Structure 1
Amino acid sequence: MQDVLSSQITAPPPTTRKEQIIAGVRDSFSAGLGIFPLGIALGLLVVQAGLSWWLAPALSLAAFAGSLELLLVGMMASVTPLAAVALTVLVVNFRHVFYAFSFPLHLVRNRLAKAYAVYAMIDEAYAVNASLPVAERSAPRLLAMQLACQTYWVGGGLVGVAVGAALPAPIKGLEFALCALFTVLTLDAFRSRREIPSVLLAGASVAVALVLTPGVAMFTALLLFVALLLVRHALTARRSAPEAADA
């Protein structure tokens, strides 16, 4: 009886291309709840900074990276030197290099589709994909999820521009939406993988980076976190080797 109930509750994985695309769009809903309001915040910031409204969709298409776009709005408004902008882009988006190590780009065969998958490899797409069972991942599902996420972002930016133009006064504190979104995504990803040690290592990396290199804390924390994960992986592999030999 319990097996029958389990089979009814657990839905079979999508098999056809259409089912995979639908599943990818459904996968994007949880991230979309944060992406769309964050896109609205971007549009509002563009308008409140006195920049042209078309910068919101232009940034969303040319540099599909929420945290970077929010920073670029302020830097463009204050006419920040190009060298500082380039360094900021490197530090903020350097984490995407590490995403590529475990993001299933090998599933995408078409060159143009793979190029888009690399371009749209944002934090939310990585977190959502990481929570999926390996057997249920596919290229149509991955690309559909990424396309849906970008649609939420561009659409939210346009809504934010319209709302910002209609408001009589600016709204403060919109930048916190980015921090809140990252916090929710991080908790959800680690809860699904039960990686409590990784959470502790990430916290330790941030603490050390803030003390040693407060000016480039994110860059230092990422490098330190990757080094600690490699050490943990080596120790885990060393402990599991004798067990596998005994078995």
Structure 2
Amino acid sequence: MSLPASLPASVPASVPATRRQQLAAGVRDSFSAGLGILPLGVALGLMVVQAGLPWWLAPALSLSAFAGSVELLVVGMAATVTPLGAIALTVLVVNFRHVFYAFSFPLHVVRHPLAKAYAVYAMIDEAYAVNAALPEAERSAPRLLAMQVACEAYWIGGGLAGVALGTALPGPVKGLEFALCALFTALALDAVRSRSELPSVVLAGASVAAALVLTPEAALFTALLLFLALLLARHALAARRNAGRPQEVAGSA
């Protein structure tokens, strides 16, 4: 099949030719992620209202800390008057996974400093997953940023919709506190089905089991710290193994 006349022969047909097409492609990329982001945003808004917290906390959290899992945790901890130090430690440990995302997230395609700062800020799980599925030739700054802006719009819009819904409902909705647990349960099941991520699931299970035995009164924090240490060790071993492969090939040749 020949290339369209508007595209140079050196540009792959799958790459958008104009900035507008790249932006449109980024918005389309966000649709699949939005199916999960929007309902969680609604759950966040409902939780804020049902916890008796001010309605503006939902958009404020979405703008100051664009990370769905942490925001849902913070709402629950704020409702129970958890000490600020415990909240800060929870946010740090839960969001530390983004450090690993940065190793392979395509930040190099974003040139402008402010745009790159936003790309780092909006590097959520869904944005990482969507970009990981894209071929390198199809990645661009407009496409990446458009997808991230759209994902944040889903999250903020869902939160405001949840606030409005929670205000209009005559009574509380039971089970919303399980939304975050359900999210991570679904992610864990996906990881189990993917053989490449099975070691991570095993490490997570071992971390939880050890934490329940060693520090049952603070099992969550201990499990998170143990899992983080095990992931770092796994990454170091994988990097050492990959670094040794070219030498082994060269020696065998």
**Between 208-217 and 151-160, the greater mean CA deviation after superposition:** 208-217
Deviation of residue 116 (structure 1)? 0.7
Post-superposition CA distance 1:188-223 (Å, at most 9, x none): 7898xxx623x1210121122112234221232133
Could you tell me whether the CA contact under 8 Å between 1:36 and 1:156 is conserved in 2? yes
**Between 10-19 and 46-55, the greater mean CA deviation after superposition:** 10-19
Tell me the amino acid that sits aligned with residue 46 of structure 1. Answer: V
Cα distance change of structure 1 residues 13 and 190 upon mapping to structure 2, 3 Å threshold: farther
Deviation of residue 229 (structure 1)? 3.2
Q: What do you get for the CA RMSD once the two structures are aligned? A: 2.4
Give the structure 2 partner of residue 204 of structure 1: 202
Give the structure 1 partner of residue 4 of structure 2: none
**Between 214-223 and 62-71, the greater mean CA deviation after superposition:** 214-223
Give the structure 1 partner of residue 235 of structure 2: 229
Give the length in aligned residue pairs.
235
TM-score when scaled to structure 1? 0.85
Distance 2:186 2:22 in 1: 25
**Between 18-27 and 143-152, the greater mean CA deviation after superposition:** 18-27
Q: Unpaired segments of 5 or more residues in structure 2?
A: 2-11, 213-218
Post-superposition CA distance 1:97-118 (Å, at most 9, x none): 2211111111111111111111
Could you tell me whether the CA contact under 8 Å between 1:28 and 1:145 is conserved in 2? yes
Give the structure 1 partner of residue 126 of structure 2: 124
Give the structure 1 partner of residue 135 of structure 2: 133
Give the structure 1 partner of residue 109 of structure 2: 107
Could you tell me whether the CA contact under 8 Å between 1:92 and 1:219 is conserved in 2? no
Deviation of residue 237 (structure 1)? 4.4
Seq. identity, %? 66
Could you tell me whether the CA contact under 8 Å between 2:14 and 2:138 is conserved in 1? no
Cα distance change of structure 1 residues 37 and 28 upon mapping to structure 2, 3 Å threshold: same
Could you tell me whether the CA contact under 8 Å between 1:44 and 1:164 is conserved in 2? yes
Tell me the amino acid that sits aligned with residue 63 of structure 1. Answer: A
**Between 155-164 and 11-20, the greater mean CA deviation after superposition:** 11-20
Could you tell me whether the CA contact under 8 Å between 2:30 and 2:147 is conserved in 1? yes
Deviation of residue 40 (structure 1)? 0.1
Post-superposition CA distance 1:109-165 (Å, at most 9, x none): 111111111111111111111111112111111100100000000000010001101
Distance 1:189 1:19 in 2: 33
**Between 47-56 and 176-185, the greater mean CA deviation after superposition:** 176-185
Q: Unpaired segments of 5 or more residues in structure 1?
A: 5-9
